Amino acid sequence: MSNTLKQPSTNPVEVKLKRHVGPIGLLFAAIGSIIGSGWLFGAFNASAIAGPAAIFSWLIAGVMIMLIALCYAELGPMFPISGGVVRYPHMVWGSFGSYTMGWITWIASAAVPAIEVEGALTYGTKYAPFTVLAKDSGASAHVLTPLGIVVAIILLAVFGVINYFGVRLFSQVNTVIVWWKIFVICLVIVVFILTALATTAPQAIGNFTSHGFAPKGFAAIFVCISTAGITFSFLGFRQGIELAGETTKPKRNIPLAVIGSVGITAILYALLQVAFTMMVPSSALAHEGGWAGLAFKNDFGPLAALATIAGLGWLAYILYFDAIVSPLDTGLIYTTVTSRVSYAVGRNNNGPRWLATNNKFGVPVWSLLLSFLVSIVLLLPFPSWQQLVGFITSATVLSFGTGPLVLAVMRRKLPNHARPFKLPGGDIIPFLAFYCTNMIVYWAGWATNQKLMISILIGYVFLVIYELVARKRPNRPKLDFRASAFWVIPWLVLMTLVSWLFDPATHPTMFFWVFLINLAITAVIYFIAVKITLPTEKIEEYIEDAANESEIEEKTLAGGAIR
């Protein structure tokens, strides 16, 4: 057993790495990953769902995501390995648990390039008919046209081609793009607020109450956390964790990156919501009968459209340009991420070995091709940004939900393992983080979650087929089914039943009761997941295997970390 990850001492873990990221570098890597296409649509969608009260949606979501992220802030420096969302469950519950979370993570990651392309093309409708306004379950959404689908496929193919030849050059250019993202969102906030106050200050302030502060009730504040793109807008925090093994002082830098990135962007997003609320013309609210029917010309690009209405044509052009640069930048990053997740599945023998086949540039080419094909498939059931955002939110948060459970197990199984950063409060933060996971998934609604659960079932079908085909392979790992099935399957079943039986859209009277129902589910699953795990010796063995696998990735994969 290596001394790097197994020793139960209080001395800091020493890990040799190629790069060193300082506190500011780690913080801005996380901020840059968080700011994607979500902010371009989130304020508009949230206003239509919750009205001016949507400001609380951003702040509540920020707190919930921070609780989840803090669990990974402790795990990251403990086990500085890539792909922690997939590998941590493998350490504690074995292959079946890691396969389940790996599949969910992979599906969510594969959907991100698709939604970022949809975001760019939605704003691009100003110049060509890439989308058309349509109704979906009573709600308006800008859906890709046949032309839009063709262009989306071409852009996804471009992502694949760039990744095929490696992304080292892009990773350097990306640093500039991160600064651009931060500049644009700050510019919009300042210009919108100053313009609103300088032109019609009474009307701007009056927007917060003239048609009701929370016109659909306080339940809508929680629903739009999952459905308006709010939680989606925070999910890039994982970049601060992925670079956990590359920072010089993890005890200081990782909490700074996690708390700082989520905290700073939560404030920015809340200010953007305030600025958007103030800038909406009172005539638009009066004409549409309030926030629920909010619409105006060219609202396929809502922020740019609002800037145009206010006579800020120059800002509108900046937003249209940013709507191309920012989403495509994030889509390219996640094309890389998705191929690396399936590469790890192949390396871990949880899937075909050809997924881990690299080309001469050090890129897992078959994983890249598979990611491209899945991204195209996801365009069909989710042909608009609004439709796909809930799916990604549920899938990603569901995969993150194992982090708090792993943390609770590691504190019991490896209490003396070096922890450069340790959360206070015992089980309080992990439990609340797991509870937040279950609530965010519920708020996404049954229309979204049924597709997610069907995707998970498809993943299990593939697992059965793979187990039958590869049952004679000598290097096929044991599923460790008993260690994880006793909590993974009940968890997924219970979340499916809650989403179906108490769907916010069809059973609004049960909405607030689900806070208590999910609390009970959280307590039961938390208890089972912590009690039924692999033996300590097996956990230590898997920890060492993960460390060795990470070293192989460092040598064989091109591109490095995206900053």
Q: What is the pLDDT of residue 252?
A: 75
The Cα 42–Cα 232 span in angstroms is 9
Q: Average pLDDT of 384-405? A: 87
Provide, rounded to the nearest whole percent, the portion of the chain with pLDDT above 90. Answer: 35
Task: Check residues 489 and 360 and name the one with the higher pLDDT.
Answer: 489
The Cα 389–Cα 115 span in angstroms is 7
Q: Tell me the pLDDT of the chain averaged across its residues.
A: 82
Query: What's the one-letter identity of residue 44?
Result: F
Task: Express each pLDDT in 19-54 by its tens digit.
Answer: 445 677 677 767 877 887 888 889 999 999 999 999
Q: Which residues contact 209 (CB under 8 A, 6 or more apart)?
A: 52
Q: What is the pLDDT of residue 17?
A: 36
Angle at 292 between CA 286 and CA 293, to 5 degrees: 60
Residue 242 pLDDT > 80, yes or no?
no
The Cα 127–Cα 2 span in angstroms is 58
Q: At which residue do the structure tokens 């039924």 appear?
A: 532
Q: Which residues contact 525 (CB under 8 A, 6 or more apart)?
A: 434, 487, 490, 491, 494
Residue 432 pLDDT > 80, yes or no?
yes
Enter the tokens of residue 237.
């925090």
Angle at 317 between CA 311 and CA 318, to 5 degrees: 110
Q: What is the pLDDT of residue 63?
A: 94
The Cα 165–Cα 493 span in angstroms is 42
Q: Please name which of 275, 258, 247, 214 lies closest in space to residue 62, comparing C-alpha atoms.
A: 258
Local structure of 136: helix, strand or coil:
strand
The Cα 138–Cα 393 span in angstroms is 21
Local structure of 296: helix, strand or coil:
coil
Query: What's the one-letter identity of residue 265?
Result: T
Enter the tokens of residue 285.
């609210």
Q: Average pLDDT of 530-546? A: 88
Q: What is the pLDDT of residue 559?
A: 46
Residue 529 pLDDT > 80, yes or no?
yes
Task: Express each pLDDT in 188-220 by its tens digit.
Answer: 999 999 999 988 888 889 999 988 899 988 999
